[in-house]
Amino acid sequence: MEYILNVNKMNLNTIKTVGRSDFVNMGPIVLRQPIPTRTIENIDPFILLHHYGPYEISTESNPFDLGPHPHRGFEPITFLFQGEQLHRDSLGNESIVKAGDVQWTTAGRGIIHSESPSKSFVEKGGTIEGIQLWLNLPANKKMIPANYQYVKYEDFNVVHSEDSKVELRVIAGANNNVYGKIETQTSVNVFILDIEKSGAFTIDIPPKHQALVYLINGSVEVNGTEQLELNKNQLIQFNQDGEGISLKGFENSKLLFLSGEPFREPIATYGPYVMNTQTELLEAMRDYQMGKMGFLPPN
């Protein structure tokens, strides 16, 4: 469903940090990692952001093939921008995720899943690009039952600016009383933004939320003072001192907007687990080895 975006003057949140998104090696995969970095450990409740691709996939080259692996204590979320991925998990879910689709996994007390380009996509070849976001769960929800949500591109509610130069796809949370299709465990807003050249608008931020914008491609002006450019700086974190932010496209651009209420709890991480203490991490590793997170055979 489509709506019209209201553009209103507001007290803007000031910029806290302008972060880079340099390339890092993750095994055979080279990807961008704006969170965490040496300057930004996390933006509570968002603890990791990986921007992978674009990769050219073929029968001779398929670096993005993540076999079965466990998670506990957080929500791994995948936004796919190009290509096609097969998702399978120990709950029995199996989905072909296509460009524009979103899969939102609540790992909770434990899940095993795998993600890789589908066999048919590998055979025909093509480009794959996406983002994996790790959204933390608070201590009182880290051991809830696992869950999986999958929403297709065409099913999200979309907000357009009056001049149709801005499209805001509401993944989770709400914008101007337009709500996302994803049911969330915590107070978060997740939007995908497509901005044409000279398109401009403001987006509100709840007063208790920490917020950021991540540039996927293009070039945009933020709050009339800072320019996000590909390969120079790609992420801006905001202070909790205003009502929203303003964006203007210098060229056709795509962004990810995130805001969430921070938990301000201790974070303990090890590999695919995000808990509050080292003891809980040891328990997670033991439970996985004992098969308490389920089972997922290789495809």
pLDDT in tens, 136-171: 999 999 999 999 999 999 999 999 998 899 999 999
pLDDT of 231: 82
Q: Among 36, 37, 43, 22, which residue's Cα sits nearest to residue 257? A: 43
Q: What is the DSSP letter of 218?
A: S
Q: Domain for residue 283, yes or no?
A: no
Q: Domain for residue 298, yes or no?
A: no
Residue 27, CA distances (Å) to 30, 65, 69, 130 in order: 8, 11, 14, 17
DSSP assignment of 10-77 equals --BPPEEEEE---EEEETTEEEEEEES-SS-S-BTTEEEEEEEEEEEE-SS-----EEEEEEBSEEEE
Structure tokens at 297: 């055979």
Q: Domain for residue 210, yes or no?
A: yes
Q: Domain for residue 268, yes or no?
A: no
Q: Among 164, 293, 221, 266, which residue's Cα sits nearest to residue 18? A: 221
Q: Domain for residue 291, yes or no?
A: no
pLDDT of 76: 98
Question: Can you tell me the distance from the alpha carbon of 244 to that of 254, in angstroms, rounded to the nearest whole number?
Answer: 19
pLDDT of 60: 84
Nearest-5° angle of CA 172, CA 176, CA 180? 20
Instruction: Please say whether the beta carbons of 128 and 66 come within 8 A.
Output: no
Which domain covers residue 125, as residue numbers?
A: 2-260
pLDDT of 4: 52
Structure tokens at 220: 């945009």
Q: Among 180, 181, 172, which residue's Cα sits nearest to residue 209? A: 172
Q: Domain for residue 266, yes or no?
A: no
3 state SS of 146:
coil
pLDDT of 119: 87
Q: Domain for residue 157, yes or no?
A: yes
pTM: 0.95
Number of domains in the chain: 1
Residue whose token pair is 């096609």? 84
Pairing of strands 2-5, 157-161: parallel
pLDDT of 176: 87
CATH number, domain with residue 142: 2.60.120.10
Pairing of strands 178-179, 174-175: antiparallel
Show the low-confidence residues of the chain (pLDDT under 70). 1-9, 63
pLDDT of 9: 61
Q: Domain for residue 270, yes or no?
A: no
